[in-house]
């Protein structure tokens, strides 16, 4: 396998003040995020950023939280996935990390997006 250089993408929402909570999330990077660049396939940061914003907001909505901001790292480095994926050491995050590492073992050249998501205080305006 080839370890690719991690790509970091920040998702801002304009929400001010201190975040109220934090979670991690890991998703497989879909093929549609890659575009041909000089004969090889490269990750399109604009596409990835737009989709990760939607993913971040959807993840928040699914647990009744509102996104404050998020930081995503796209990588296929199992060590980095483990380090970033365990920033929130709860059962759900551990299970997600185990699944993600298994997916990476099956497809070592596939990339994962590891997200750190911060939630806004309830009722805070954007
Ligand atoms: Zn967690």
- Residue/partner pairs of 109-112 with CB below 8 Å, 24 or more apart: 109/1, 109/2, 109/76, 110/28, 110/29, 110/76, 111/4, 111/28, 111/29, 111/43, 111/74, 111/75, 111/76, 112/26, 112/27, 112/28, 112/29, 112/74, 112/75, 112/76, 112/81
State residue 125's pLDDT score.
Answer: 65
pLDDT per residue, tens digit, the chain (126 aa), is 677 789 999 999 999 899 999 999 999 999 999 999 889 889 999 999 999 999 999 999 999 999 999 999 999 999 999 999 999 888 989 999 999 999 999 998 899 999 999 999 887 666
Cα-to-centroid distance, 15 and ligand 1 (Å): 22
Cα-to-centroid distance, 23 and ligand 1 (Å): 5
State residue 29's pLDDT score.
Answer: 96
Cα-to-centroid distance, 30 and ligand 1 (Å): 23
Cα-to-centroid distance, 35 and ligand 1 (Å): 32
Cα-to-centroid distance, 52 and ligand 1 (Å): 18
State residue 119's pLDDT score.
Answer: 96
For the chain, domain boundaries: 7-119
């Amino acid at each position: 396998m080839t370890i690719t250089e991690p790509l970091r993408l920040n998702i801002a929402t304009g929400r001010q003040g201190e975040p109220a909570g934090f979670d991690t999330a890991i998703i497989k990077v879909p093929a549609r995020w890659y575009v041909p660049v000089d004969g090889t396939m490269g990750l399109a940061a604009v596409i990835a950023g737009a989709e990760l914003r939607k993913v971040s907001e959807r993840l928040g909505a699914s647990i009744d939280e509102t996104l404050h901001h998020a930081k995503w790292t796209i990588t296929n480095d199992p060590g980095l996935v483990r380090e970033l994926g365990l920033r929130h050491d709860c059962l759900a995050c551990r299970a997600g990390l185990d699944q993600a590492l298994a997916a990476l073992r099956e497809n070592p050249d596939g990339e994962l997006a590891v997200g750190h998501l911060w939630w806004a205080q309830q009722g805070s305006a954007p």
